[in-house]
Amino acid sequence: MITGELKSKIDRVWDAFWSGGISNPLEVIEQITYLMFIKRLDQIHTRKENKANRTKTEIENPIFSPDQQDLRWSRFSQYDAKTMHDLVSNGVFPFLRRLGGGDSTYAEHMRDARFTIPTPGLLAKVVDMLDKVDVAAGDTKGDLYEYMLGKIATAGQNGQFRTPRHIIRLMVEMTAPGPRDARRYSIPSRTPTSTTACSTASTSTPRCCASAA
**What is the pLDDT tens value at each position of the chain, 213 positions in all?**
566 787 888 889 989 998 888 888 889 999 998 999 999 999 999 999 999 999 999 999 999 999 999 999 999 999 999 999 999 999 999 999 888 776 777 777 788 889 999 999 999 999 999 998 877 665 677 778 788 888 776 655 444 445 656 677 778 888 877 777 655 544 454 444 444 444 444 444 444 444 444
In a domain, 209, yes or no: no
Domain that holds residue 18: 4-167
40, 46 contact by CB (below 8 A) = no
Question: In 10 A of CB 22, how many CB atoms?
Answer: 21
Decide if 126 is inside a domain: yes
Is residue 113 one of the residues assigned to a domain? yes
Number of other CB atoms surrounding residue 209 within 10 Å: 13
CATH code, 76: 1.20.1260.30
**Sign of CA pseudo-dihedral 165, 127, 111, 152:** negative
Residue 85 in any domain: the answer is yes
Q: How far apart are CA 127 and CA 115, in angstroms?
A: 13
- 83 within some domain: yes
* CA nearest neighbour of 148 among 52, 54, 31: 31
Asked, for residue 210, whether it belongs to a domain, the answer is no
- On whether residue 51 sits in a domain, the answer given is yes
pTM beyond 0.75: the answer is no
Structural domain includes residue 160 = yes
Query: What would the DSSP string read from start to end of 69-107?
Result: GGGSHHHHTTS-HHHHHHHIIIIIHHHHHHTT-TTSHHH
Total number of domains in the chain: 1
Q: What φ, ψ does residue 29 adopt, rounded to 5°?
A: -60, -40
